[in-house]
Amino acid sequence: MGASIWSGTTTISASNKYIEEFVATAGQVLFTLTTFSYTLGPFAVQVFINGLLQSENDFTQTSSTKITLDNPSTAGDVVTVSAIII
């Protein structure tokens, strides 16, 4: 059995956690997920830039497969999008 994450009264299997990583080009703001989609909503996804968690105010959930950053990326930035889908 895979690892699990305890969240309040719900146990979530690690197999429900999805992660997609991108290496940004200079000025890139739009990132399109190709390995999973999610339901839009507050805290539906987490976005990291070079390992630093971004505030919900720093990006827009453009669709169930697209994230738009408020500020352009620098070439080589590693942008990671993760979600736990129940």
Closest CA to 80 of 38, 18, 12: 18
What confidence tens digit (pLDDT) does each residue in 40-64 have?
A: 999 999 999 999 999 999 999 999 9
**In degrees rounded to 5, what are phi and psi of residue 84?**
-110, 120
In eight-state DSSP terms, residue 50 is: T
pLDDT computed for residue 86 by the predictor: 77
- pLDDT higher than 50, residue 17: yes
Report pLDDT for 85.
84
Question: With 90 as the cut, is the pLDDT of residue 81 above it?
Answer: yes
The full set of domain ranges for the chain reads: 16-84
Per-residue confidence (pLDDT) for residue 13, from 0 to 100: 57
pLDDT at residue 32, rounded to an integer: 97
